[in-house]
Structure 1
Amino acid sequence: MFHATRSRAEAAFEAANGIATLPAFGTWGGTASDAAKNAIEATRKDLDAHGNEALAVARAASKAAEDIEQVKNDLATLRAEAESLGMAIDSATNTVVAGPGAAGGPPMEIELKREQLQPKLDAILAEAAAADAALTQAISMATGDTPIPDSPLPQ
């Protein structure tokens, strides 16, 4: 989605710049010329605004994709850490549980490992929810369901 909206923004900017420099208006004068110039200027501004909107969507989509990649990396790191401690992550319940390597281990030790890892998993789940919300917003902006904010989006 990032590349598509980025291309759309570039096309809108090129069109806006192209119509601003049409050679026909250099020698044409009169009332009709003024009306045409005003109409072209309004169209150029619309194209420029469209380009800025598409660029905002592209930035939002890119940021969401980066966030999702970070969540995936963090989760892989946590899974490896859990495995090294004999623990596992139960994706159905989003909890850290005793893994095959912890079988027969002291219950207190298993609980301490779980308490060590669970907050990390909770933080990753919060990151995932935020990334999902950001991606949902980018998609909603791209489809026109959500207005594009006037303030700059995260880069």
Structure 2
Amino acid sequence: MDALDFIQQDHDRFRALLDRYEEIDPDDHATKREVIDELIAAVVRHSAMEEEAFYPVVMRDVPHVEEDIREEIEEHHVIEVVMAELDGLDATHEQFDAKVEVLAENLLHHLYEEEDELFPRVRSAFDDDALARLLDGLRTAKERAPSRPDPDRVGG
């Protein structure tokens, strides 16, 4: 496993949680809350990890990605705002499902951009050793990352 595989593993987990949410009975508010809480914690850790240990290295070592990385960070901010709203919203609230849908749309768009546009550029710019070193940094950053949303922490 290298750094991009590690990030992809998180992306796959996010998709699985969103798929699971779609399968929940509309009246099962406790399970909805549980799945969204798990998703929020995972996405917050992942975003903080990328911002600390992935994006700075990519900006330094991959040519012509600065604007793309700035956009990725702004997408993190938008996602973080929606997650913060969901974090404080009861699953029975009439807007809960709508906010989850907005979160899903923004998150899936973000994952697509990273996987289809950024990852190929990183893979071509980094050799196996560099991707292994990057993986070490990602693991360390993820271990100390927060698990609750804070829109003031990113972008904006």
Q: For the superposition of Structure 1 and Structure 2, which TM-score range results when normalised by the shorter chain? A: 0.3 to 0.5
Q: Rg: which structure is higher?
A: 1
After TM superposition, the score normalised by the length of structure 1 is 0.35
Higher relative contact order (CA 8 A, sep 6+): 2
Higher relative helix content: 2
Higher relative strand content: 1
